Amino acid sequence: MQLDPRMLVAAYTQGVFPMAHDDGTIYWYDPDPRAIIPLDTFRVNRRLARTVRNAGFEVRVDTAFRAVMEACAEPAPDRDGTWISQELIEAYTNLHRMGLAHSVETWHEGHLVGGLYGVAIRGLFAGESMFSRATDASKVALVHLVERLRQGGFVLLDTQFITAHLARFGAIELSRDEYRQRLAHALTIAATFAP
């Protein structure tokens, strides 16, 4: 069964998301507990705030969506494989064309050095993955994402799983039931990803 935009939207609105295994097979996930970053308690330490202001990064939105996904899929020192298959890249690129998937990109001297992507449906932003080729580049993208979500009226930033990296920004875990309640509320909110 090929992933199509309607299937992806239906999955996200029910709290489910896809990941590919090494053989390319797509599996659907609904973790319990589920991780989110509460937008009202997102934390940025002083050093990162200085980096955001002074490091010379240029942040762009939705100018290199596919390149961000491909970079997120590249091998990294902390992982052997990737869950981002070619089929997922195609499916999310289609969602991006429809205005439902977005990238926040960090550029330095004309080069893409970091970024993240995710799915935006009403008041939900489901963060999918991030990458960094320069110190703090993905963190800068995350800071800009949170500010954009706040300005756009979003109420739920889903990070799926918790990591030490995300916990530093205030990520928390919720039970599946609590996540579903927050998701149901988010889907009633007419948020906008546009600036």
Residue boundaries of the structural domains of the chain:
5-186
Q: What is the 3-state secondary structure (H, E, C) of 60-98?
A: EECCCHHHHHHHHHCCECCECCCCCCHHHHHHHHHHHHC
Q: Give per-residue pLDDT as tens, 114-157.
A: 999 999 999 999 999 999 999 999 999 999 999 999 999 999 99
**What integer pLDDT is reported at residue 66 of this predicted model?**
98
State mean pLDDT over 81-85. 82
**For residues 142 and 113, is the Cβ–Cβ distance under 8 A?**
no
Q: Give per-residue pLDDT as tens, 154-167.
A: 999 999 999 888 99
State mean pLDDT over 44-70. 89
How far apart, in Å, are the Cα atoms of 144 and each of 52, 115, 137, 173?
Answer: 9, 10, 11, 22
Phi-psi region of 188 (alpha: psi -120 to 50; beta: other; left: phi over 0): alpha
Q: Is 103 helix (H, G, I), strand (E, B) or coil?
A: strand
Query: Which residue's structure tokens are 């990162």?
Result: 48
Quick one: tokens of 42? Answer: 């997102």
**For residues 193 and 102, is the Cβ–Cβ distance under 8 A?**
yes
Distance CA 9, CA 11 (A): 5
**What integer pLDDT is reported at residue 49 of this predicted model?**
82
Quick one: tokens of 176? Answer: 């599946």
Q: Which amino acid is at 104?
A: V
Distance CA 165, CA 37 (A): 12
Q: Give per-residue pLDDT as tens, 86-115.
A: 999 999 999 999 999 999 999 999 999 999
**What integer pLDDT is reported at residue 79 of this predicted model?**
56
Distance CA 188, CA 173 (A): 22
Q: Which amino acid is at 155?
A: V
CA 39 to chain centre: 14
Give the helix/strand (H/E) hosting 101. strand 101-108
Q: What is the CATH code for 5-186?
A: 3.40.630.70
